[in-house]
Structure 1
């Protein structure tokens, strides 16, 4: 079965919802969302190449974090900026509440996850 946008897997107390995100950064990129926890796993989007033992955005210097996120965006996602805008708009139209963003690279955005979303819209 090929997983597509809108597909869900029930794990008991939680369900995983899937959103295709091709070319953010790879052709097979996909976001996963846990509605109960308002948690988005965006694969390569919203990440940073930041070497730290810290796990969350509020445990890292904000200026450093945003600089690293900007460099990551410029190096990985900038060529796909139009797709970034489209995918963010798609998520907003779905009315997904996002309380945390856990990218594949870097720290988890838990304090104000919309800060990185707004930054991506600006950088795009």
Structure 2
């Protein structure tokens, strides 16, 4: 009787990647771009943002072509928490919608549309 071959597959890669991205989230040490919303600064990796958002990719590309300043001011965001939700989505992190205020959730949904957030 012949034994069936058994595959040994590493299956925790998604969890490990999410932990790494959680470490990178809003961390100046792992960022090359800063988004300023009101007085708050959000540190981000521009390539990750560009892959997730066609609109923010275009805005960053235009901004960076005119200056070396990596700090971009976002005037279309009313609530800093809403932009946190957007960045958590971009970084693939968990978002607990039940803990969000209605106005934050509504603005986050609107920003997701405006920024053309997509799943690749």
- Which TM-score band (shorter chain)? under 0.3
Q: Give the TM-score taking structure 1 as reference length.
A: 0.26
Q: Give the TM-score taking structure 2 as reference length.
A: 0.27
Which protein is bigger by CA-based radius of gyration? 2
